[in-house]
Amino acid sequence: MNAPRRAGTATMHDVAALAGVSIKTVSNVVNGYQFIRPATRAKVEVAIGELGYRVNITARNLRQGRTGMIGLAVPELSLPYFAELADSVISAADAVGLTVLIEQTGAVRQRELEVLSGQRRHLTDGLIFSPLDLGEQDKSSFDVDFPMVLLGERIFGGPADHVTMNNVDASRAATEHLIDLGRRRIALIGTHPGETMGSAALRERGYRQALEGAAIEFDPALLGDAGLWHRSTGAEAMTRLLDSGVELDAVFGLNDAMALGAMHVLHDRRIDVPGQVAVIGFDDIDEASYSSPPLTSVVPGREEIAQMAVKLLVDQIAAGGARRPPIEIVAQYTIAVRGSTAPQPR
Amino acid sequence: MNAPRRAGTATMHDVAALAGVSIKTVSNVVNGYQFIRPATRAKVEVAIGELGYRVNITARNLRQGRTGMIGLAVPELSLPYFAELADSVISAADAVGLTVLIEQTGAVRQRELEVLSGQRRHLTDGLIFSPLDLGEQDKSSFDVDFPMVLLGERIFGGPADHVTMNNVDASRAATEHLIDLGRRRIALIGTHPGETMGSAALRERGYRQALEGAAIEFDPALLGDAGLWHRSTGAEAMTRLLDSGVELDAVFGLNDAMALGAMHVLHDRRIDVPGQVAVIGFDDIDEASYSSPPLTSVVPGREEIAQMAVKLLVDQIAAGGARRPPIEIVAQYTIAVRGSTAPQPR
DNA sequence: GGGCGCCTCTGCACCGATGTAATCTTCGGA
DNA sequence: TCCGAAGATTACATCGGTGCAGAGGCGCCC
């Protein structure tokens, strides 16, 4: 059987027949070719309107070898940071006429590898990829033959363009902010023991640097491990810390979701924030501004990251496969100080 | 110039040449056709591996007239409800082998109309659409000639399948919950004056029914208008209400984001929740469980909605254009009672 | 008036796969 | 040994557009 044609779906051929011109002329009209007599253009446009004709993008894609779509692979949209990132990427892509195809990997190794294997290579012109499970040991897998930009901290000096931020510095600054408030017993939530790369390890490094700089002894009892960085895992880590009886006067959540989960537990236990325990997060998701108290957080420059990623990808696509040395871009961070670390104004 | 071919991108033709078989045999291997001699299959598979060949999905789509993708048009991913909805839809679609193409309309009329105009008709096999600006007066625009499922409360009895929930009942139940707590001055945040359809109007209707049932007089001074339902607009509405000096002992946010924005303001002003003011929201986003205090909310059955929407769409696609009377599905709701309306346990 | 060049439009091959139907093999059974 | 059916493979048209090259037509200039 031939491909079924849905009722009402006219082709360029039909339009050409109705307008009494060649199919190529219809194509020219549709694509805004300049040398068309106004009368001809009008005839074609009338026919298009009459038939409700729409260009078949699939056919055009096939012929042109491009799709006008880029992939965005993130762990989960239900993680606010990635939802907001997706929003920013979609907007940035929209601005240059590209459509974004979102893929959720669930931070599962197998799914992340599938993304790289390029099943969708022909469906998208390039890929913006934020891996969470693949890391340094998979570096070679990232050497793909299609345009790709990596986000995040899993890979450095890899074979692809990379947009990241200075996690170590940002984390040190966040920790120093707590130290400046006079806090000495700072819990760290979301650590990944044994890792040396990735957001968790880098941010822990910054935390340690800050402690060292202030001559505060590092205490492993203050580390709250959490694999996936959700509100729930942050809450669980906080609960474990409190139940362990370890003394603490501040909490640094390695992302906002966990910091908010931790604050939830503190609130539950009637521990005053920031009076007894100051809390700081990382990512500055919208939610951070509206929690009670509002959450101080590291602002990672999400818009900037999204725009740079799209720009790099567009450059690669325009280069048409010509290789150049990979570019690494480091976005600027700032810290937004809010009520969770500041004495509340009256 | 012909379409550029990216290095390393082999076609079925190349594989056929290398394996010494016809192109159609390669196609048969790729598609799991059963009558292929093992030796032939092996030869082809070796060639595929050697060339790193991947099927060109665009070409397949063109030939088959289907794309295996469905569109999901939502206002914004940065609104948590829609991010979580997208997550659910993607998972449900994935389970039946479909890919989701997300489109952000920004709740802008023009963009919503574009979605319906079917520019992407050929790129997707169907559309799940959650309009926020188009409404009853645009009913005819929803009579499209491609598979579509509507979500939300902007349209009823329209020409397309529709998955919704009983907003009036749910809202009445939420309001009654507050009344049961002894609250009499219940502010409503997120109203859209003048509308008679849409979530805002329906939920306001439920609110009024509950008041009526409890013989509480409706007071328009307790309505806080808010166009877009963000945290920020909820906070602004709450601020206006408090500044107006109107007496209130409860707040019903027409979605969670606004309820959380309102709680933020209450916290700022040192108004105890739920002691002085009880707060309830709508949507039960993940964040609601982790706010301080946790937010009581109407649970709209998001997973169920996503699964039903995908199922209805798949049915329509399978029907191949055959029309049937539109189906309307009403998802079940419940209320999750949390700290923002319950006296906190000690 | 012939020639040149620009405007306008058309024919045709082709993008990379798949459906159909036909052809060629193979093998069991009479 | 021969025949027929099932197994295995192939040629070819086709999906709906676009790039390229070229054919007319027309006006303008020398």
Evaluate whether residue B36 is within a structural domain. Answer: yes
Evaluate whether A171 touches A206 at the Cβ level (below 8 Å). yes
Smallest CA-to-CA distance from B122 within A6, A32, A14 is with: A6
- The answer to whether the CB atoms of B261 and A56 lie below 8 A apart is no
Q: Gap from A35 CA to C2 C1', in Å? A: 27
Q: Strand D closer than 7 Å to the CB of B12?
A: no
Asked if residue A172 belongs to a domain, the reply is yes
Q: Are residue A91 and residue A159 in the same domain, yes or no?
A: yes
* Residues B210 and B227 occupy one common structural domain: yes
Is A290 in contact with B8 (Cβ distance < 8 A)?
no
Q: How far apart are CA A39 and CA B2, in angstroms?
A: 31
Residues A130 and A180 in one domain: no
Question: Above 80 in pLDDT, residue B346?
Answer: no
What confidence score (pLDDT) does residue B172 get? Answer: 97
* Interacting residues of A330 by C-beta distance below 8 A, sequence separation 6+: A164, A165, A166
Give the nearest nucleotide to B14, CA to C1': C16
Give percent of chain A above pLDDT 90: 80
- Does residue B345 lie within any of the structural domains? no
A147 prior amide bond cis, ω within 30: no
In the sheet with B278-282, reading across from the earlier edge strand, the strands are B223-225, B186-191, B250-253, B278-282, B296-299, B334-336
Residue B239 forms contact with A (CB below 8 Å): no
Give contacts of A99 with chain B, Cβ < 8 Å: 101, 103
Domain-located, residue B61: no
- Could you tell me the CATH number of the domain that includes residue A119? 3.40.50.2300
Residue B62 within any structural domain of the chain: no
Q: Do A231 and B286 make contact, defined as CB atoms within 8 angstroms?
A: yes
The answer to whether A290 contacts B264, with C-beta atoms less than 8 Å apart, is: yes
pLDDT in tens, A264-281: 999 999 999 999 999 999
Residue nearest to nucleotide C12 (CA to C1'): A24
A115 and A22 inside one domain: no
Mutate to test the interface with A, among B62, B127, B229, B239 (most CBs of A within 10 A): B62
Other CB atoms within 10 A of residue A241 CB: 21
Residue of A7, A83, A263 with shortest CB distance to B292: A263
- Per-residue pLDDT tens over the stretch A329-345: 999 999 999 999 986 55
> Is position A314 within any domain?
yes
CA gap B34, B92 in Å, rounded: 30
- What SS3 class is residue B101? strand
Q: Are residues B181 and B289 in the same domain?
A: yes
Chain C positions with an atom below 7 A of a protein C-beta are 7-12, 14-20
Does one domain contain both A183 and A288?
Answer: yes
Which chain A residues are within 8 Å of B9, Cβ to Cβ?
121, 145
Write the pLDDT tens digit of every residue in B251-280.
999 999 999 999 999 999 999 999 999 999
Q: Which residue does chain B place closest to A90, by CA atoms?
A: B104
Residues B227 and B127 in one domain: no
pLDDT of residue A118: 76
**Residues A21 and A129 grouped into a single domain:** no
Does the pLDDT at position B101 exceed 60?
yes
Any B CB within 8 A of A233 CB? no
- Residues B243-255 have a mean pLDDT of 96
Residue B91's domain spans which residues? Answer: 69-165+302-333
* Domain count within chain B: 3
* Together in a domain, B98 and B123: yes
Same domain, A131 and A94: yes
Which bases of chain D come closer than 7 Å to a protein CB?
7-12, 14-20
| Same-domain status, A155 and A177 | no
Considering the domain architecture, whether residues A125 and A181 belong to the same structural domain is answered as no
Write down the pTM of the prediction: 0.90
Whether A7 is covered by a domain: the verdict is no
- CATH code for the domain in which residue B24 is found: 1.10.260.40
